[in-house]
Amino acid sequence: SQQGEEDPQALSIQEGENATMNCSYKTSINNLQWYRQNSGRGLVHLILIRSNEREKHSGRLRVTLDTSKKSSSLLITASRAADTASYFCATDRWGTGGFKTIFGAGTRLFVKA
């Protein structure tokens, strides 16, 4: 079963608006990462946030992590049509069998021009 769950499942906004996606997970983690995927292609790494960090920024992206609530959010500010993609959170943790990365189901973002 998947560790992370994203919400919403789909999001449609106008260009220039902000987009917020949330991710919840079930067990303790080492890191949490956000990825973007365009139309069934490979994943592009966006941001990695460690379990001892609370917030990280990268350009128009802002990620927060609340380990007490086991949740993270990805904010994309001033969205563009090119941001249209699926966004996934992935949690990294040590478990039986070693270090594992487990992906959530993803949020499909559609930015209308």
Partner 1 sequence: KAGVTQTPRYLIKTRGQQVTLSCSPISGHRSVSWYQQTPGQGLQFLFEYFSETQRNKGNFPGRFSGRQFSNSRSEMNVSTLELGDSALYLCASSLTDEQFFGPGTRLTVL
Beta carbon of residue 17, minimum distance to partner 1 (angstroms, whole number): 27
- The nearer residue to partner 1, 106 or 111, going by C-beta atoms, is 106
Contact between 76 and partner 1 per CB under 8 A: no
Phi, psi for 90 (deg, rounded to 5):
-140, 130
Cα gap 46→9, rounded to integer Å: 19
Beta carbon of residue 33, minimum distance to partner 1 (angstroms, whole number): 7
Q: Measure CA 87 to chain center.
A: 6
> Which of 7, 15, 53, 92: binder of partner 1 (CB under 8 A)?
92
- Which residues are CB-neighbours of 5 under 8 A, at least 6 positions away? 23, 24, 25, 104, 105
Contact between 91 and partner 1 per CB under 8 A: no
Site residues (CB under 8 A) for partner 1?
2, 30-31, 33, 35, 40-45, 48, 88, 90, 92, 97-106
